[in-house]
Structure 1
């Protein structure tokens, strides 16, 4: 399975919100409306550039991401596919801010949501 296929097959969840890339999510739309946001996304600091890291490293990286997100509407969540899972945060931020944070935390992509539209995979790698 390619990386892109894995992202598409992964289920992203935070509280009542359930999202899959390429599909519209009514629960995500409601969450964004409650947070007064037109855009949001699932982001993590785990496993930078898809390189598996030890649990303690991932926990420290996720804590740094949470500090960077102070003041943003957010909810704890995860991305899961089979036995694989990563801690995620659903955050009410625009695409450009999500991309900047993802690059800062060395993430290859984020799942970007725009109210009323299907979830998209946003590649954040340089170049």
Structure 2
């Protein structure tokens, strides 16, 4: 059961999750993403997680603090030897600034939830090999 306000859930659902792959591609919640599916197949992985460390619990922080949090997330992933690609989550019409994020390949759902809790995120994007991104609350 969700404890998030409906308008926040709707904003997350409408956000465009852009992966800075070559070429870049955009994921939308609930819509098949052939580029994501192909990327997972190419890396022989069954899951992908799109996550950020910016703006814990949707509270805006200064860019310097957000950048430090994101750098820590990336260092954490590198230490775990996880493959990830930079990206950004950007709502197409609201005034919330885009949040630098990463698409992590091959992270188990429980590990993704743990990461989201550690970085104080309300939600993250999760996809299995079908390439359909879904919003998950940790």
Q: Deviations over 1:8-58 (max 9, x none)?
A: 111001123321111111011011112211101100000001111100000
**CA distance in 2 between partners of 1:109 and 1:35 (Å):** 25
2:80 paired with 1:80:
no
Q: Secondary structure at the match of 1:69?
A: helix
Q: How many residues align?
A: 124
Q: How far has the Cα of 1:117 moved from its partner?
A: 4.7
2:121 paired with 1:107:
yes
Q: Deviations over 1:84-109 (max 9, x none)?
A: 31001000112111111111111111
Scaled by the length of structure 2, the TM-score of the pair is 0.85
> Match of 1:23?
31
Q: Which of the residues 80, 89, 95 maps onto 2:109?
A: 95
The question of whether the paired residues in 2 share the 8 Å contact of 1:45 and 1:65 is answered with yes
Q: Secondary structure at the match of 1:112?
A: strand
The 5 Å alignment of 1:48-59 reads 48-59=56-67
The question of whether the paired residues in 1 share the 8 Å contact of 2:36 and 2:131 is answered with no
> Match of 2:3?
none
2:136 paired with 1:122:
yes
**Gaps (5+ residues) in structure 2?**
1-5
Q: Which of the residues 2, 5, 13 maps onto 2:10?
A: 5
Higher strand share: 1
The question of whether the paired residues in 2 share the 8 Å contact of 1:35 and 1:73 is answered with no
Q: What root-mean-square deviation, in Å, do the aligned CA atoms of Structure 1 and Structure 2 show?
A: 1.3
Bigger radius of gyration:
2
